Structure formats: structure tokens, C-alpha cells
Amino acid sequence: MSAEIAGHWINGAHSPGGRTGEVFDPATGAVARQVALAGPAEVERAVAAAAAAFPGWRDTALSRRTRVLFAFRELLDAAKDDLAEIITAEHGKVLSDAQGEVARGLEVVEFACGIGHLLKGGYTENASTGVNVHSLRQPLGPVAVISPFNFPVMVPLWFVPIAIAAGNTVVLKPSEKDPSAALLLAELWKRAGLPDGVFTVLQGDKEAVDGLLDHPAIKAVSFVGSTPVARYVHERASAAGKRVQALGGAKNHMVVLPDADLGLTADAAVNAGFGSAGERCMAISVVVAVGEIADPLVAAIAERASGLRTGDGRRGCDMGPLVTAEHRDRVAGYVDAGERAGARVVVDGRKVEPDADGSGFFLGPTLLDHVTPEMSVYTDEIFGPVLSVVRVDSYTEALALVNANRYGNGTAIFTTDGGAARRFENEVEVGMIGVNVPIPVPVAYYSFGGWKDSLFGDTHAHGTDGVHFFTRGKVVTSRWPDSSHAGLNLGFPRND
């Protein structure tokens, strides 16, 4: 963590190279270190290492591969506080939140420990007389994982353990805003017994990404980030003949029906709207208040939001800073625009007095009421601590609003009416749905992914989708010679 330059990890060792960029401590505003930014030479070295390691890892016995996964799980668990500290220092989210991120990543490692069961094929005896058929799944080769700044540990762990357990080698390109956690993950993999070259960290920006997307040795790309980049990655990597899953941005609505439990709903809105300063792809950014619950709900959210302590994530605050000064200014600009367009600023985070030293990138929790669908604060993904309340008259109007939105990552309904919840689950065009659960991130053995502009490709992350993505299938039809099929017959084979 004290390293002056967060470099690459190639062939099981730290490796410098390329241009450099600055990494900030967002709570103080100070430059904490530099990050290496790969150019073509570093991309080539990283991919060559991953390609060279592939045949050996692919052919390593499943039992041995699994043992590495179990060892990595133990080491990750032991290092969880160190990882959380690194996350807080470079991302800014408060320590308890960073610990939660590591815990959710760990769950995917535990899922991947069961890879033996997940890779089993099917077998059919006597599909035709004397003929048996079986299926198998094999790894793809070197694959690339490109991750966003907001979950520097959890998002890489959505993919890396499953890809490695299935016999692939992985080049991870972390966000250049918080590059250090990936290097500790690399050290843990090595200590777990993973052979050199199976896991590589390539630090960098667009240049590194483009190098991976175009490289013929990279067989698949798992991307998570903003929608414009996700769309671009999907198109460019697909054009290069690769398998691609590209998860994009979000605008998650929380529909609150008049019969919802007011206190629990307000708690949920505050937790899901302002946790991690709103820098979560599953954050609630829009509360859709149906009917007469709007006034008491806005009052209850405002009361809770006003009491939150914003500051340095290492000081036990509720909410930390935003990731960069530019991002903080951009989010504050959306609040200004919303106010100018007629939204009522109920809680104003622009006036925050943070509990922190230096000049960190802070914006306090902000609550906007009477937001309407044409305002930029509604149409755009803001990715900050800004909760917008849109008032509607009916469930039907609320549903139409959610379904008209270009994003379809997550949504939630708050109600005590089971029939309404069931109808919402059936009718809403969104990939992940919560019923009285504001951030419905699926557990590791289910798959994570949105609809519409929140995901390009057709496979979601982790769970059985993840295993499917990182393997390809074969079907073998076999017959052992015996006298029953002697003789010439040029007809098309029939199954009888």
C-alpha cells in the first residue's frame, strides 16, 4: 500500500512499465501514489504470460485447481481488513462498506470452490444401439476482465475465481483510479499456489483496454463500467471475434406504494441512496412515491439523511467522499441543474461540512423532491449521493416510468401487498428486483446482470451464467466396434 507506483503483476511478480497517472486519497484530496498506465509493450508482455500459462493450467487436475481455490478463500478471508483499508484509502467508501464489498467477493470464491460439480457434463447411454453420448465443458484460454472504480475487489471477484477455477488464465485491468487492491489479490493468488501467469494485473486506461480488446490471444472479455464504454467494449471485442459480456450503468427506481411501512422504507431509501456516496451500480437514485405516501416519506427520508455524518471513511463516518474532484463537481452540477429546472432541494449536500482533514472530494447527502422525468437529474446516471423523488398517482404510472427508462439494472418495490409485489415482479423490465429489499444484488450462486442499456451481451456475471461464459461445450458421440454395426451403409445415421 505504501508503494509509490502501483505497477503491473506479470508472471507472478511486480512489473513496472508505461506512462503514469495520479491516484488520490479522496478523503484528503492528496495524491497518494502513481499508477502505471500500460502501452502496447506492457499489453504484449501481460498477454504473452497469460497465453504461456494456459496449457499447463488447463491440464492441471481439477482436484489441484480446486485446492488452490480453497487456499485462496482462506487467504482472502485473513486479508479482508487489509483489503478494506486499501479500498477506503483509494476509493473513499467507509471502512464498513469496504468490508462488505470484500465479503460479497468472497462469496463468489466459495461458489467457485464447487467448480468440480459445476463442470460436470451429461451422459446418455445407448442413445442409439451401442452408441453413447456425453458432453463436456472446456476453458476458453486467456480472458480479460476490465473493472470499474466503484468495486475494486468485488467486481474482479465476480469473474476471476470462476474463470480460473474453470481452467482459464486471466488478465485483470483494474480501474486506474484505485489500482492497489488488485495487486494484493495477485499476491494472495500466488501464496495460494496459483502458478505464475495464470493471474495477471495490467494497470492502465483506454490504451490498455483497447490493446486487450484487439489482441488475438484474448478469447473473452468481461467488462463492468459505464454504459457508453460497455457498448463500445461489446462492439469492438465482438468485432474481434471474442465472447463478450459488458455490464453498464444504471438508474435504479424504488417504487413505494401507499401501504408500505413508512419507517422501514425510509431507512431503506437512505441506505440504498447514500451508501458508498451513491457510487454503486445498484444504488437507488429515484424514489417513485405513489399517492398519499409522498409527503410523509419525503419528511422521513429528509430527517434521516440530515443526520448522516459525511467525512473520512476511516473515522467511523456514515458516508465518504466521491472518487475525484471532477466527479464531485459533476454531481453537484446535476443538483444545480435540477434546482434550476424546478426540483425542490429538501436536503442540500452542497453545504456539507465533512469530518476530514485536507480538501477531500465531498458532497453531502442530497434529497430532491418534485423531480420530473425530463430533468437531467432524472434522465442521467449521476453516480453520487443524490436521491430524486418522483411523485405519481398510481402503480400503473410507476411501472410505466420504470419500464420507459433506458436502464434496467435493479429496481425495488416497497409494499405490504403480496399481490402487488407479485405483479411488479412479473411486469417490470429490469434484471434484478427487490421486494422490500432496496439493493437486490443476487447471491453468488445466482447470476448478476441487468437488462436494456445496463448489459450488452447475453450472459450475466457469476452463478451458472458465469461458468457458462468461461467455458465452451463439446458433445461426443461414441461407439466401440462390435459385430452389430458391420457392413456398408451410406444412408444418414438414424437413431434406432
Q: Which residues bind ligand NAD (CB under 6 A)?
A: 146-151, 155, 173, 175-176, 205-206, 209, 224-226, 229, 232, 247-250, 281, 381, 383, 409, 450, 454
- At its nearest, how many Å lie between ligand NAD and the CB of residue 224? 5
Q: Least CB distance from residue 446 to ligand NAD, whole Å?
A: 14
CA distance 396 to 321: 37
Nearer to ligand NAD, 144 or 257 (CB): 144
Q: Which of 320, 224, 275 is nearest to 438 (CA)?
A: 275
**How deeply is 132 buried, as exposed, middle or buried, from its count of CB atoms within 10 A (0-12, 13-18, 19+)?**
middle
Distances (CA, A) of 187 to 72, 195, 372: 10, 12, 49
Closest approach, Cβ 383 to ligand NAD, in A, equals 5
457: left (phi over 0), alpha (psi -120 to 50) or beta: left
Instruction: Return the residue nearest ligand NAD (CB atom).
Output: 225
Which single residue is written with the C-alpha cell 463478450? 244
Which CB atom, from 132 or from 464, has the smaller least distance to ligand NAD? Answer: 464
Q: What is the 3-state secondary structure (H, E, C) of 24-35?
A: EECCCCEEEEEE
Strand segments (E) across 291-431: 344-347, 366-369, 386-392, 407-408, 410-414
HEC profile of 45-87: HHHHHHHHHHHHHHCCCHHHHHHHHHHHHHHHHHCHHHHHHHH
* Structure-block grid coordinates of residue 391: 411523485
Nearest approach in angstroms of CB 294 to ligand NAD is: 27
Terminal Cα distance for the chain, rounded: 66
Neighbours of 224 (CB within 10 A): 27
How far from 291 is each of 138, 262, 310, 391, 427, CA to CA, in Å?
54, 13, 32, 7, 20
In one-letter notation, the amino acid at residue 400 is A
Q: How many CB atoms lie within 10 A of CB 120?
A: 11
Query: Which distant-in-sequence residues (6+ apart) come within 8 Å of 347 by Cβ?
Result: 302, 305, 306, 364, 365, 366, 367
What single DSSP character describes residue 403? H
Q: Which is nearer to ligand NAD, 57 or 334 (CB)?
A: 334
CB 404 within 8 A of CB 249: no
CB 130 to ligand NAD: min, Å: 49
State which residue, 75 or 186, has the beta carbon closest to ligand NAD.
186
Give the three-class secondary structure for 455. strand
Q: How far apart are CA 453 and CA 431, in angstroms?
A: 11
**Which residues participate in catalysis according to the annotation?**
281
- Is 143 or 155 the residue whose CB approaches ligand NAD more closely? 155
Closest CB to ligand NAD among 68 and 171? 171
Cα 102 from chain centroid (whole Å)? 12
Nearest distance from residue 245's CB to ligand NAD, in Å?
10
**What are the grid coordinates assigned to 407, written together?**
436502464
**Minimum gap (Å) between residue 410 Cβ and ligand NAD:** 9
Nearer to ligand NAD, 365 or 431 (CB): 431
Judged by CB, which is closer to ligand NAD: 230, or 289?
230
Rounded to a whole number of angstroms, the minimum distance from the CB of residue 172 to ligand NAD is 10
